[in-house]
Amino acid sequence: MQIGQDKVVKLHYVLRNDAGEIIDKSEADEPLAYIHGAGNIIPGLEEALIGKSVGDKLTVAVPAEKAYGPSDPELIQAVPRRAFEGTEVKPGMRFHAETEDGPRSVVVTRVQGDMVTIDGNHPLAGQNLNFEVEITEIREANAEELEHGHVHGPGGHAHGDDEEFDEEDFDDEEEGGAGHAH
């Protein structure tokens, strides 16, 4: 079976930046699981995986434009320190901000006097991403997975009472890799 639309794919990966530093990787016993064509992973990686089979190993260089896009200067802004309601704000801290487009994760990049500079770009925006990938499993997605837009079961999403939806392993609060293209 080959990777194509509506296939559940499990893969191991190592993600590096252009300097060769490891940004993220799958755990040895926990491959990344996604539905091909459902927008679960960045477009450049998804395109490169079309037609691949179990056991295939490949290296994929994804330009920023096909990953998390360029860094948007409009998402970098200075806000008054009082907006953080007494929190001792330091560079590197992450917050959720309400924006016109809904909630957005932001990181504090600078604190100077009464002003705090925040950046709402994805941590990997503007960066080329380099993947080493090994395909470990391919199967048809079931109707429920297609309806929900994500994989269920091992390596995927669970719908238990104690679990909260976690937009894959690579979004929002963590710097890292193959996650959703937003």
Residue 13 has pLDDT above 70, yes or no: yes
Residue 111 has pLDDT above 60, yes or no: yes
The answer to whether 179 and 168 have CB atoms below 8 angstroms apart is yes
Output the CATH code of domain 73-119.
2.40.10.330
For CA atoms 131, 133, 139, 142, the dihedral sign is negative
- CATH 3.40.50.300 correct for 1-71+126-175: no
Residues 89-103 as b or e (16 or more Cβ within 10 Å = b): eeeebeeeeeeeeee
Strands (DSSP E) contained in the chain are 7-16, 22-25, 32-35, 57-62, 76-80, 94-99, 102-112, 115-119, 129-140
Question: Six-digit token pair at 58?
Answer: 């490949």
Question: Six-digit token pair at 54?
Answer: 């179990």
CB atoms within 10 A of CB 140: 10
Given phi > 0 = left and psi -120 to 50 = alpha, else beta, which region is 55? left
Domain ranges of the chain: 1-71+126-175, 73-119
**What per-residue confidence (pLDDT) applies to 93?**
95
CB atoms within 10 A of CB 54: 16
CA atoms within 13 A of residue 30's CA, in its CB half-sphere? 10
Q: Tell me the pLDDT tens digit for each residue of 129-172.
A: 999 999 999 999 999 999 999 998 766 655 543 333 333 333 33
Rounded Cα–Cα distance for residues 161 and 142 (Å): 22
Rounded Cα–Cα distance for residues 95 and 173 (Å): 9
CB atoms within 10 A of CB 114: 9
pLDDT band at 176 (very low <50, low <70, confident <90, very high): very low
Of the two residues 99 and 103, the one the predictor is more confident about is 103
Q: Tell me the pLDDT tens digit for each residue of 50-82.
A: 999 999 999 999 999 999 999 999 999 999 999
Rounded Cα–Cα distance for residues 71 and 123 (Å): 9
Nearest to 116 by CA among 73, 83, 71: 83
φ/ψ (deg, to 5) at 178 = -85, -5
